[in-house]
Amino acid sequence: MKASIGGFDRPGPVTALNLAVVVTIATALVLATAATDAVAGVGAADVGTADVATPASTTTAATLASVIPGSTTSAETSASTTVSTAASAAASISETISLSDAIERALRLSPAAVSTETAISLAKANQLETRGSWLPSVSATAGYTKSSDERVDSSTGRLTSESYTAGISSSLVLFQGGRRLWQNRSTSALVSAAEADHRGQVFDTILETTTAFYEAAAASDLELLARQRLERARQQLAFAETRIEVGTATRSDVLRAELEVGNAELAVLDSESALRTAALQLGRLVGTASEVFPDAESLPGAAPELPSVDRLVTRAESNSPLVVSREAELRSAQASRLTAVSTYLPSVGLTAGYDWFSPDFPPDRRTWNVRLSASLPIFDRFGREASVQRAKASLRRAEATARDALIAARVEVESAVQDVIAAGQRVTISDRARALAEEDLRVLEERYQAEAATILDLQASQVALTEAEVGTVRARQALGTAIARLEAVLGETIEEASGE
């Protein structure tokens, strides 16, 4: 991956493969140079020349410089080709991904999203079972009996030791005090609640993935900024060394410049570690046990145009996954209470059957029966009373959570809208601050070279620019996260909420 900010190119992540290639090439060239030096020394002694062979340390330094990014020293053509091939292989190990692809993969692999999908399947299975209670049950039987003693067959009057039977029966509940109706309403409401919970989990997963994606994108930009800081620190050190050579600076200027170089190198190490951690976390969310980096220009640059707060609040009250789920659970609790009350009413059922029997096969004797029955529980040791009390308690709890979800949706929408607006303003302000800091540093660098500013002035300007650059990256990261949070509260994208 290769990113660019402010005209400064950052190579892809350094891996163990790159380091191994560098060490191997350096070792091989040191050995080759040593052998060349020995041969050159012998040849020089034989011909009596005053030529001096190139020291091995000089060749090694040139070789290492040739494989370090930004170096101007040239190495052997074969070594350069080998390093380029190794770098390409290492870069192919790292994966870059867009935000949309990361979200798609995270939704497919997220355990939480898969769990809510299975919850929908279970809720629909319960719904199917309650719907089936409206239909009759049908069963068929068949039998064959063989005994050691003969007996008189009642239908034929003859002795037999065998008998064949077959039958079909059906039963249907005609009335249960409305219990089946309320059970169907309850299970249907639970299906709606499970679907709303799944939609809410989808947007929670999107929010989590977006947060990790922007964290990795910000870490990538901050790592690039740290390298820019190191480059500026080295330039300032060169300025200070030049001035001390001509006698226009003190030793303190060089020491302060060297201290800033050391601090910049530490900042590069910290930013590389943070980038690796963020890339690994992003890889975990998309189902990869390795580093995954965001594609270039990932952070948003400006806040989107939002609908009015009143419109967004209205959309959240009717479409927010949390509100929809809690209202569905309230409907289920209301139906469950009525189901408990219906146990005080009688139940009426109808059964019918048709049978075949005979001592011979196939059986040819036929009988049928129809039965209508009713039952009314009079006393069940307070089981019905306890069921009603539990149903009432569940209903009160569902009413409280539904009311709280509605208020929470309003509050969270207004808060999320303000976060998006504020984040957009921070991006504008930080961009302006960065431009001012860049211009200030440019002016002070010219003044320092012209001996009109001190090293302290120059370093203060550099620190201000670093803070402004970091502020710009963090502001854009916060903007992207705020937009994702607003969409998670709404349960839909901003475009959908706008009616586009």
Predicted confidence at residue 69, as pLDDT, reads: 35
**CA 27/CA 118 separation, integer angstroms:** 58
- Between 77 and 307, the higher pLDDT residue: 307
- Between 85 and 362, the higher pLDDT residue: 362
351 within 8 A of 361, measured Cβ to Cβ: no
Domains and CATH numbers, the chain: 3-93 (no CATH), 100-136+178-347+380-497 (1.20.1600.10)
**CA 2/CA 223 separation, integer angstroms:** 12
**Span 107-114, mean pLDDT?**
93
% of the chain exceeding 90 in pLDDT: 60
**Range name among 41-55, 196-210, 297-311, 346-360 with the lowest pLDDT average:** 41-55
Instruction: Tell me the average pLDDT of the chain.
Output: 81
Per-residue CA distances from 383 to 71, 186, 338, 378, 392 (Å):
85, 21, 15, 11, 14
Tokens of 43: 């040849």
pLDDT-based confidence at 72, cuts 50/70/90? very low
pLDDT in tens, 446-488: 888 788 888 888 889 988 999 999 999 999 999 999 999 999 9
- Between 69 and 131, the higher pLDDT residue: 131
Q: Is the pLDDT assigned to residue 82 strictly greater than 70? A: no
Return phi, psi of residue 174, to 5°. -85, -35
